[in-house]
């Protein structure tokens, strides 16, 4: 128990910088005297930990102290390398060098167990570059000017405060604060045509919950698909949203926003989907299909 508490004290001081003995005693549910004994034990083990008296005093570590590699178990070291390998997917040079250095420090090989390519087929890596630029802008809190094609067919420039990269439903998105709209917005990375990281910085804020940010209403959509396109159904939907009929056809029940994107999405299945609920969606999709027919008929 004491060994675990000693490590937790060190981690706490690394995170907070400084703490008083009463604060540590309350946090770890021991007496102040026990905390001072722990400090003596850490100091005796070679940890540069100090206690200063006075109004601005407290317990702290030497500024340049870092945890010795022996603190981490072999499994923990491997988990760190695996995590770094996971985010090294865009072939970022600095990430690769960090991975090599940690592998050497830990005396472990980093298994190249994952490969992620953000670019679309035939894209030659420009999506990877876009992802890397946006990642840097999020980390360093730099404004970004983007040229964006929205779902209503409008292409325009916006200046945004990039807050977080988000992966959902097989696509990457940028969660950001839009200066034009003076509100939070979500931008699909593939729809960002051009981007420029600006020198202007911003104060980071928390992105609100999706429902608050999007302003969209999500309704339950029930669809039926023939069994011969089950491969696409499981590409698009989680198995918890899918049930199978006796004849092998698949029923999908999912919450989705009712907008122009949904109509286009349903049309992408052609005749291989039957809309069960809500019934009025059938008329909307049929009307759009009629317009497509009128446009392309000879």
70 with 23: CB under 8 angstroms? Answer: no
Q: What is the 3-state secondary structure (H, E, C) of the chain?
A: CHHHHHHHHHHHHHHHCEECHHHHHHHHCCCHHHHHHHHHHHHHCCCCEEEECCCCCEEEECCCCCCCHHHCCHHHHHHHHHHHHHHCCCCCHHHHHHHHHHHHHHCCCCCCCCCCCCCCCCCCCHHHHHHHHHHHHHHHCEEEEEEEECCCCCEEEEEEEEEEEEEECCEEEEEEEECCCCEEEEEEHHHEEEEEEEEEECCCCCCCCHHHHHCCCEEEEEEEECHHHHHHHHHHCCHHHEEECCCCCEEEEEEEECCHHHHHHHHCCCCCCEEEECCHHHHHHHHHHHHHHHHHCC
Q: Taking the chain (298 residues) in consecutive chunks of 10 residues, what is each chunk's mean pLDDT? A: 72 80 89 88 81 79 62 65 56 54 58 62 71 87 92 85 84 90 89 92 82 62 93 87 92 86 88 93 92 84
| pLDDT at position 279 | 92
111 with 168: CB under 8 angstroms? Answer: no
- Condensed to tens digits (0 to 9), the pLDDT of residues 220-240 reads 999 999 999 999 898 888 888
- Phi (first) and psi of residue 56, to 5 degrees: -105, 20
Q: How far apart are CA 202 and CA 275, in angstroms?
A: 46
Q: Across-strand partners of 172?
A: 167
236 HSE (CA, 13 A, CB side): 19
pTM score of the predicted model: 0.52
- Condensed to tens digits (0 to 9), the pLDDT of residues 89-115 reads 555 544 555 556 556 555 566 555 556
Q: Across-strand partners of 167?
A: 172
Cα-trace Rg, the chain: 27
In sequence order, the 6+-apart residues with CB closer than 8 A to the CB of 250 are: 224, 225, 226, 227, 230, 233, 242, 243, 244
Q: How far apart are CA 68 and CA 45, in angstroms?
A: 12
Tell me the CA distances in angstroms from 56 to 19, 22, 60, 63, one per residue in order: 10, 14, 12, 16
Nearest to 223 by CA among 246, 251, 243, 248: 251
């Amino acid at each position: 128990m004491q060994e675990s508490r000693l490590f937790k004290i060190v981690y706490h001081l690394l995170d907070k910088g400084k703490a008083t003995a009463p604060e540590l005693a309350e946090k770890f549910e021991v007496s102040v005297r026990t905390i001072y004994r722990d400090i003596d034990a850490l100091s005796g083990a070679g940890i540069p930990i100090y206690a200063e008296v006075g109004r601005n005093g407290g317990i702290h570590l030497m500024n340049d102290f870092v945890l010795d590699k022996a603190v981490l178990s072999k499994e923990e070291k491997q988990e760190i390398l695996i995590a770094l390998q996971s985010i090294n997917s865009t072939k970022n040079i600095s990430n690769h060098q960090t991975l090599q250095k940690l592998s050497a420090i830990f005396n472990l090989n980093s298994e190249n167990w994952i490969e992620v390519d953000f670019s679309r087929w035939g894209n030659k890596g420009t999506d990877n570059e876009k992802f890397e630029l946006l990642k840097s802008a999020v980390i360093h809190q730099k404004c970004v000017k983007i040229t964006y094609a929205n779902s209503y067919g409008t292409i325009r420039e916006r200046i945004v405060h990039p807050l977080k990269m988000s992966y959902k439903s097989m696509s990457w998105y940028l969660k950001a604060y839009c200066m034009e709209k003076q509100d939070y917005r979500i931008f699909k990375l593939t729809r960002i045509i051009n981007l420029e990281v600006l020198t202007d910085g911003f104060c980071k804020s928390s992105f609100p919950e999706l429902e608050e940010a999007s302003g969209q209403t999500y309704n339950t959509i029930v669809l039926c698909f023939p069994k011969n396109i089950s491969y696409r159904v499981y590409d698009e939907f989680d198995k918890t949203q899918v049930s199978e009929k006796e004849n092998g056809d698949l029923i999908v029940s999912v919450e989705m926003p009712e907008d122009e994107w949904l109509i286009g999405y349903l049309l992408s299945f052609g005749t291989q989907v039957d809309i069960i609920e809500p019934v009025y969606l059938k008329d909307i999709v049929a009307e759009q299909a009629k317009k497509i027919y009128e446009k392309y008929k000879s």
